[in-house]
Amino acid sequence: MANLKLIAIYDASKGFWEQLADDYQYFDLDSFVARVLNYGSVVRDEEVEEIEGEIQNENEHYILTWEDGMDECVRIYQK
């Protein structure tokens, strides 16, 4: 996959993890991304060559991945 940007990383250590999980249930992917990018300073703009984690959701603008384990983590990529 070319021209991907990692734009945000959120993990369970962040204080808004529960709010992030709630929002994911109620919003489409575009609305969810717009909402969570306002959560805090985890926003990035980093070009990547490969995706980390398991793809949970994808549309024409974004890819959202999930990593399970003790350090649960969500990454958001922009296409």
pLDDT, residue 42, reads 67
pLDDT, residue 70, reads 65
- Domain count across the chain: 1
User: Which range scores top for mean pLDDT: 12-21, 30-39, 69-78?
Assistant: 30-39
Cβ neighbours of 56 (radius 10 Å): 13
Distance of CA 35 to the CA centre of its chain: 11
pLDDT, residue 32, reads 95
Q: What is the mean pLDDT of the chain?
A: 87
Q: Is 47 helix (H, G, I), strand (E, B) or coil?
A: strand
pLDDT, residue 12, reads 82
65 vs 14 pLDDT, higher one:
65
Any idea which residue has 């249930």 for tokens?
25
pLDDT exceeds cutoff 60 at 41: no
Domain that holds residue 27: 4-78
Q: Distance between CA 35 and CA 24 in Å, rounded?
A: 10
